[in-house]
Structure 1
Amino acid sequence: MTDQREFLKKLAFMKMPYGKYKGRYLVDIPEAYYTWFHQKGFPEGKLGLYLQSMYEIKMNGLEYLIRKIIREYQK
């Protein structure tokens, strides 16, 4: 359980390292960007895992959970 929580915390605070959305939290990147990655292929490695996870979260309307994590840790 702790590993899942730690993963979600890292996902919540992960910022896009390059491109049009460089420096933005992954949760703040538009859904269309994730759909494009889903069609073209996610990058390899940790970033790809985070992007795929955020894609699934956005497709299932669960962004509020990530935003809640951000709010809780920014207090």
Structure 2
Amino acid sequence: MNTSSLQELVTMKMPYGKYKGTILCYLPEPYLVWYHSKGFPEGKLGMLLHTMYEIKLNGLEYLLTPLKKSQFKPS
């Protein structure tokens, strides 16, 4: 896991489905659990969703807090 992947969790939006347009770090845990049971998509999106699942499962959301705050700094 690298910091650019964590940065993508707070910037990338879900491209399709029920939560289309939702930033990945704000996806509800039950949605990620559903993906875990059905299988994550291939590629980068699947890797990011799996990472977000693991973060939420292990109570590590606090790791994303500084990255979330950095997204909203005034220019």
TM-score after normalising by structure 1: 0.87
**Hey, what does 1:53 align to over in structure 2?**
51
Instruction: List alignment gaps of at least 5 residues for structure 1.
Output: none
Q: CA deviation at 1:24?
A: 0.7
The separation in 1 between residues aligned to 2:46 and 2:33, in whole angstroms, is: 13
Q: How many residues align?
A: 73
**Percent of counterpart pairs with the same letter?**
55
The separation in 2 between residues aligned to 1:63 and 1:15, in whole angstroms, is: 17
- Alpha-carbon displacement from aligned partner over 1:27-75 (angstroms, at most 9, x marks no partner): 1111000111100100001100000000000001111222320112321
Give the conservation status (yes or no) of the 8 Å contact 1:26–1:51: yes
Matched, 1:23 2:21: yes
1:34-73 counterparts in 2 under 5 A?
A: 34-73=32-71
After TM superposition, which residue ranges in structure 1, 4 or more long, deviate above 4 angstroms?
Answer: none
Give the conservation status (yes or no) of the 8 Å contact 1:12–1:70: yes
Instruction: List alignment gaps of at least 5 residues for structure 2.
Output: none
1:15 aligned counterpart, secondary structure? coil
TM-score after normalising by structure 2: 0.87
